[in-house]
Amino acid sequence: MKAVIGGTVIAEAPQDELIKIEGNWYFPPESVNKEFLVESATPYTCPWKGEAQYFSVKGDSGMLQDRAWSYPTPYPTAFDRTGKDFSDYVAFWKEVQVTE
């Protein structure tokens, strides 16, 4: 699967290496081209996953605020719910298209 913005692939991995949580595909950290991500100060804590780290995504039309996120240290109970350790996996939103 690929995460693409403006024709540029910013993450790519086989689907069996991704984790789908609440309708969003989470890419393994090593599959993400981090040169397109800039850490954001936007705070968010999911009641069951834990504290999120948001990223802005560099696109052809400039910086897109908070279009990616990860959970660096999810709550241990979240692993029971997802069946996998998704620490530092990255999900994308809006203009970043996730395709097969």
pLDDT in tens, the chain (100 residues): 999 998 999 999 999 999 999 999 999 999 999 999 999 999 999 999 999 999 999 987 789 999 999 999 999 999 999 999 999 999 999 889 999 9
Domains annotated on the chain, with CATH? 2-99 (2.170.150.40)
Instruction: Count the neighbouring beta carbons within 10 Å of the beta carbon of residue 38.
Output: 14
The CA-based angle 7-26-35, given to 5 degrees, is 50
Number of H helices, E strands in the chain: 1, 11
pTM of the model: 0.95
The CA-based angle 66-71-72, given to 5 degrees, is 115
Q: Tell me the chain's radius of gyration from C-alpha atoms.
A: 13
Sheet strand arrangement including 97-99: 8-12, 2-5, 97-99
